Structure 1
C-alpha cells in the first residue's frame, strides 16, 4: 500500500498525470517543478481545487518581479464564497467551539452560511462596503469567524486582536487602519479567572475616532448588541473582487518595534491555503482541524481556511491547558480531531510529565500532529512517534505572519527526519543564503525565498511608496525575500530552523542559532526554560555570553549545575560557546505565540528601556521582563 493511497496529495498526483501529463518520482521532483514552472504549478492548484472565479484570469503570473509580482491578472473572486460552503454542504458540521466562558457551540455549514449572509446584510445597511475596515476585539469564537467572512463577502478588510491585549496595543494596531466598525467582547474567562474588559473597550473606542458603529458580542456577563447586526434578512451574495484585493491585515508581533500592518489578499490566501490544507495537511471533507490559537495569530486565519476544503474547525477559547495539561488531548477525543496542532513547548511538557495521550484518550481519528512556533527537540519527535505510533504523521513546520502560511514543513510524501523539518513547501522556493547572497547547503544561513508566492503581502497598510515593505524583506538581497530566520538545509532537502537571524550568535567567527543552545540546556532535568543572549564588544572582542534559566521546583542553580551546563554546551556546540554567566530568572519572556524574545532582552541589556522595545501586552507573562530590567541596572 502506497503512503499516498487515500491522500489528497495522491489524488493531485493522479490528476496531474491525467490532466497535465506530469509525472513525478518523488517529492523533491514535485517540489522542484512547483518552483521552476510557477505558472504551471499554480494554475494546477487553481484547477484541481476548483477555484470559483466570477471573471477568469488572463495570466497566471503577469510579472514575477519581487516585490510586485502580479498573480492571476484579470480574475475576480471572493475568499468567503469558498469558505461558507454550498447548499449541498448545509448539514455538515463547520465549527465546533469549546469555551471556558460559555457553553459548547456547533454550527453546520448551512448555519454558518446563513449567519454570514445576515451579518453581511447588517453591515451593508450601515454603509459598509468595499475597502472599509472592520476591526474586532474578539476571542476565538464563532462570531469572529462569521464577522471575518461577512466582511470578506463585501470586500471590506478585516483585522482582529485578542481581548487579552491592552487598549494601548490594540489602538497602536487598529488606528493605522482608520476602521469604520468595531466588534468586541467586554470580558472573557481564562482558566479560573474572569477578566473584565469594559474599560479597555471604552478606551479603544475613544482611541479610534473613525469608528462609526461598535457592536458588543454577547459573551460572559454581557448581553451585547450583536443581535442588532445579525437579526436582519439574509443577503447571501459575494462581491467579485480582484485577486489582490485586501482580505485582512495581520500585525507583526511588535516585539522589535511598532507592529507592521501586513496586508493579505483574497486570492493569495485562498490559493495558498487550498494548496497547503489539501496537499500538506491532507484535510478531507468531514475532517476536523484543531489548533489552539488566538485571533491575533496567523494560525487563526489558517485554521479558518480549513473550511475551504469542507473540513470542520475546532475553536478553543480560554486556557488550553485548563483544568490540566492534557486538556487539548481530551478535546481531540471529544471533537474527533483528525489533525491537531500543538506547540513544541506543549509536546515537551507532556513528555516531561509522563503523559501517554493515545493510552489515556481515544485518538483513533487522529492522522496528523502539527507543530509550529518554535523548534521541536529531537526527543520531542521520538516521544510523539512512541506515543502516537506510525499511523500519525508528525508534521513540523515553520512559516510566518508575513506570508500567512508555512515555508518549510512536512506532508504525506515526505519522510519524518528526527530533529528536523521534512523540507520545503510546494511552491515555496526557499534557500539558505550566506552574507554574500550565495546559496549554502549543510551550514547555517539566512532563510530566503527566491521566487514569488501568491500569499506574499500586497504591502503594508499606509506604505504608499512601498519603502517600508521593501526595507523589511528586500533590502538585504535585492529581488529576494529575506524572511529573518536562520536555517540549515541538508543535501536531501530537510532543514533545521535555529531561531531569528537577528538573534543568531557570532562568537569567534562561529555562528550558531539560539535553538541549538536550548536543545542542549533544556534537556537538563533541573531546567524548565532558558534564553541565551550575546552582548558583543564594540572593539571586536568575544563579548559576553549570558545564559538565563528558570529552575524547576525542587532544584537550585549552584556552581556544580553551572559547570555541568557549560561543559555540555562546549562539548555539543563548540569551546567558544560556553556561557560566561548563568543566571536564574523567574520566567523566560515569550510572546503570545510562544516565541522567546531574545532580541528585546538583548536590547534591554544594552541599555534600552523596556517600554521602548516591547509592549508588555504581547508577552505571555507580563512580568517576565522584570528580572532582565533589574539585571541591566545592576549586572552581577
Structure 2
C-alpha cells in the first residue's frame, strides 16, 4: 500500500553531530551471546591462547593460516564424503594459487541443501520468493524436491561435470533451484540478469560456451511487465553451443513466443523429461569450479572469473555464521540481481540453515489491493522485512542514500522487531547515511558497511558483533584476510592512517581458481599480481583508523585506478562525494569526481561533475560554495580545478559510478565502453566536454 513519507525528527540544537566520521553509533548489547564470541573462546581453549578481543583473534587467524581455516571447517561444518589430508601446503604462496584442503571430496549444493552442524526443522522455510505482487515459500523438503527434479532433467539432457549452465534470470526461486541442480551435477553455473542487453550477455557467455540456457520469459519491474524472449532469441543465435533453452514462466504479462527459439522448451515440459531418480551429489575436489562471475566490463569485454566450491563455501559460512550471526531461524534478504556477487552470497546463507529471501522487482513497490498489481511504496523493503520476519537485510549504499534524501523513516510505522542487521555494499556508505540509518531503523541493529568484490565472491571488510559501529567506517577486516594498505612504493602505511592500495599478503581460499579461457593464467596474474608481485592487489584505495597491529576501522576511498592525485596528493573520490552530497542535499542530486591529465600536461586536474536537482542551476555562486566547503573541510589541494553541471552520471547495472571510463575520456584516450554500463548514451556528453573544455 502507498504510505505518507514521514520526515526524520529534527534533532535539538545542541545535539552532537552523529554523522561525523568516526562517531561511535552502536555496540552489541551482549557480545558473549554471539557465535563469534564462542569461536574466540574455542580457539583460546584449544590452542592454549589468551585472545582477549577480536583484533587478537584476527591476528592469530592471519599468522596461523592452515590452523585457522581448519578450525573454520570444523566449527561451521563442511559436509564432505572424504576428509582432507592437508589444509594448505607449508609456506604456500598467494600466487600461483595454492591447493586448499587437498584430498577432500565434497559437493557445493549438498552443503547448501543439507547444512552440517545445524539442527533443522525440515518443514520450516528454506526459501521465500517475493516480487512486487506475490510471495511464495518453499520448505527444506520442498526445495530439495524441486532441485531433485531439475537435476534429473539436466542429466537427461546430457549435462555432466564441467559443463556450463547459464541463467538469464531474475532473483527468484527457480534461479536458486537451477543453480543448485547444476552444481549438484558438478556443472558450472553462471547468472546474468534479464535487464542486461543482448550485447552484454553475449560478451560474457560467448567466452564460456554454455550448453544449457535457463531464461525467464519476462520481467516485472516498477509495476510493468517486460518481455525478454525477443532478446533471448538473439542471445541463442549468438551461442551456437547452446543445446537447450529452458523457459521459465514468470507471470509478468510478457509477450512473445518461445517456439521460435532454437532448443526452447517450457519449464514444465523440461522437468517431465527427467528420470525418477534420487537426489544425488557428485563428489568432487574442493577447488572444482561452481560459479563463473564477471568483471565489470566498463572498458572492454568482461573477464570470466572462476570460483571454486570450497573457497566459496567456507568463506561464506565463516562470514554468515561468525561475522553475521546467521543461524537456523534467521532470515536473510539481500536486494540484488542474479548477476551481482551478492546473489551468490545471499544463497549461501542456506549452508548455515538460514532462510533465504529472494526479491525480484523494484525496491519501491508493494503489492496492490488488486491481485497481480503493485503500487508505489517508499517503505516497500522495510515492509517486506516486517511481513517476512527478516533478521538480516542487505542492500546497496545507493538505496539507503535514497531513503535518507527522501526522509523515509521506517520505524515511524513499522516496529521491525525481528531485524538484527542491515548490510550495505556496492559503494562507500557516507557518514551521514550511517547516522540516518540509526535514526530511521531500530537502534539495536548492526549496520555493516561491507566490502569485497566479484574477484573474491566475498568480503575483505566485514561486520563484527564484538566491535562498535562508527560512522563512515567498515568495522574490521574479515577473519583470515591479511589485508594491508600499501603506498605506491609498497610500504605498509596501515598503522599511520595514511591512504594506500588495498592488498592482501597471505593466501585465502576464496581466491579465484582461475580465469576462463586459454590465456586465463596470464589475465589472472595481470589482474591481481602485476602491481605488487606476490601480493594480491585488489584495486581499492583505503585507509585504516585505530590500527591495532592486525585490523582497524576501514575507510573506503574509491578505486585505485580512480585515485585523484593533484600536485602529488592522493585522495579518493568518496571523500568529495561524502562532503558534497551531504552539504548540498536538495541542490545536488549526485556527483562524479575524476582526475584529468592530458598529453603534455604535467599535473592532474580534478574535475567535479554535478547532476543537479530539477530546477536548480549550477551557477557561479553554487560553484564557489562547493569549492569553499571542500577547502574548509578537506584542504586547498582537494578543491577541484573544474566544477560543472552534467546531465547524467554513468553507472553500472549495480549502481556503481563508472569513474574510470570518464577519466579515460577526459584524458583523451580511446575507450571501448562495455555493456555493463547501464546508461552508456550519457558518455557522449563527456566526450563532447573533453573535446571542447579548456
Deviation of 1:7 (Å) = 1.8
Where do 1:32-181 residues align within 5 Å? 32-62=59-89, 64-67=92-95, 68-85=97-114, 89-100=121-132, 103-181=134-212
Deviation of 1:234 (Å) = 4.5
Instruction: Note if contact 1:185-1:197 (Cα within 8 Å) is conserved in structure 2.
Output: yes
Distance of 1:403 and 1:560 partners within structure 2:
45
Write out per-residue CA displacement over residues 405-426 of structure 1, whole angstroms, 9 at most, x where no aligned residue.
0101221012212211111110
Gaps of 5+ in 2: 1-27, 259-264, 366-375
Where do 1:446-595 residues align within 5 Å? 446-463=501-518, 466-490=521-545, 491-492=547-548, 493-523=552-582, 524-525=584-585, 526-595=587-656
Q: Is it true that 1:613 corresponds to 2:668 in the alignment?
A: no
Deviation of 1:587 (Å) = 2.2
Instruction: Note if contact 1:15-1:48 (Cα within 8 Å) is conserved in structure 2.
Output: no
Where do 1:230-629 residues align within 5 Å? 230-231=271-272, 232=274, 233-322=276-365, 323-441=376-494, 442-463=497-518, 466-490=521-545, 491-492=547-548, 493-523=552-582, 524-525=584-585, 526-608=587-669, 612-615=672-675, 618-629=676-687
Which segment drifts farther, 230-239 or 516-525? 230-239
Q: Aligned pair in 2 of structure 1 residues 569, 463: CA closer, same or farther (>3 Å)?
A: farther
Q: Aligned pair in 2 of structure 1 residues 604, 58: CA closer, same or farther (>3 Å)?
A: same
Deviation of 1:463 (Å) = 4.0
Instruction: Note if contact 1:484-1:501 (Cα within 8 Å) is conserved in structure 2.
Output: yes
Tell me the SS of whatever aligns to 1:5: helix
Deviation of 1:106 (Å) = 1.0
Write out per-residue CA displacement over residues 306-328 of structure 1, whole angstroms, 9 at most, x where no aligned residue.
10011111111011123233211
Q: Aligned pair in 2 of structure 1 residues 5, 543: CA closer, same or farther (>3 Å)?
A: closer
Report how many aligned residue pairs link the two structures.
Answer: 632
Instruction: Note if contact 1:8-1:284 (Cα within 8 Å) is conserved in structure 2.
Output: no
Q: Aligned pair in 2 of structure 1 residues 113, 391: CA closer, same or farther (>3 Å)?
A: same
Deviation of 1:551 (Å) = 1.1
Determine which structure has greater relative contact order: mean sequence separation of CA pairs < 8 Å that are 6+ residues apart, divided by chain length. 2
Deviation of 1:362 (Å) = 2.6
Distance of 1:114 and 1:465 partners within structure 2:
37
What is the alpha-carbon root mean square deviation over aligned residues? 1.9
Instruction: Note if contact 1:13-1:23 (Cα within 8 Å) is conserved in structure 2.
Output: no
Write out per-residue CA displacement over residues 377-405 of structure 1, whole angstroms, 9 at most, x where no aligned residue.
11111112233344111111110000000
Tell me the SS of whatever aligns to 1:247: strand
Deviation of 1:609 (Å) = 5.4
2:239 to 177, 188, 208: 208
Q: For residue 631 of structure 1, what is the aligned residue in structure 2? A: 689
Distance of 1:421 and 1:520 partners within structure 2:
18
- TM norm structure 2: 0.88
Distance of 1:178 and 1:613 partners within structure 2:
23
Q: For residue 373 of structure 2, what is the aligned residue in structure 1? A: none
Deviation of 1:365 (Å) = 0.3
Deviation of 1:211 (Å) = 0.9
Instruction: Note if contact 1:375-1:497 (Cα within 8 Å) is conserved in structure 2.
Output: yes
Distance of 2:606 and 2:49 partners within structure 1:
53
Distance of 2:130 and 2:678 partners within structure 1:
21
Which segment drifts farther, 200-209 or 220-229? 220-229
Q: For residue 12 of structure 2, what is the aligned residue in structure 1? A: none
- TM norm structure 1: 0.96
Which segment drifts farther, 559-568 or 190-199? 190-199
Tell me the SS of whatever aligns to 2:466: coil
Which segment drifts farther, 305-314 or 212-221? 212-221
Deviation of 1:552 (Å) = 1.4
Write out per-residue CA displacement over residues 283-308 of structure 1, whole angstroms, 9 at most, x where no aligned residue.
01011111100000000000000100
Distance of 1:2 and 1:328 partners within structure 2:
26
Which segment drifts farther, 319-328 or 156-165? 319-328
Deviation of 1:198 (Å) = 1.6
Deviation of 1:517 (Å) = 0.8
Which segment drifts farther, 187-196 or 532-541? 532-541
Distance of 2:660 and 2:301 partners within structure 1:
14
Deviation of 1:141 (Å) = 0.9
Write out per-residue CA displacement over residues 430-487 of structure 1, whole angstroms, 9 at most, x where no aligned residue.
0011112111131111100000110100000014561110011001111100000001
Deviation of 1:613 (Å) = 2.8
Tell me the SS of whatever aligns to 2:88: strand
Instruction: Note if contact 2:120-2:353 (Cα within 8 Å) is conserved in structure 1.
Output: no
Distance of 1:325 and 1:452 partners within structure 2:
43
Deviation of 1:540 (Å) = 4.9
Q: Is it true that 1:7 corresponds to 2:44 in the alignment?
A: no
Q: Aligned pair in 2 of structure 1 residues 3, 90: CA closer, same or farther (>3 Å)?
A: same
Tell me the SS of whatever aligns to 1:512: coil
Distance of 1:624 and 1:147 partners within structure 2:
36
Distance of 2:50 and 2:347 partners within structure 1:
32
Distance of 1:158 and 1:465 partners within structure 2:
18
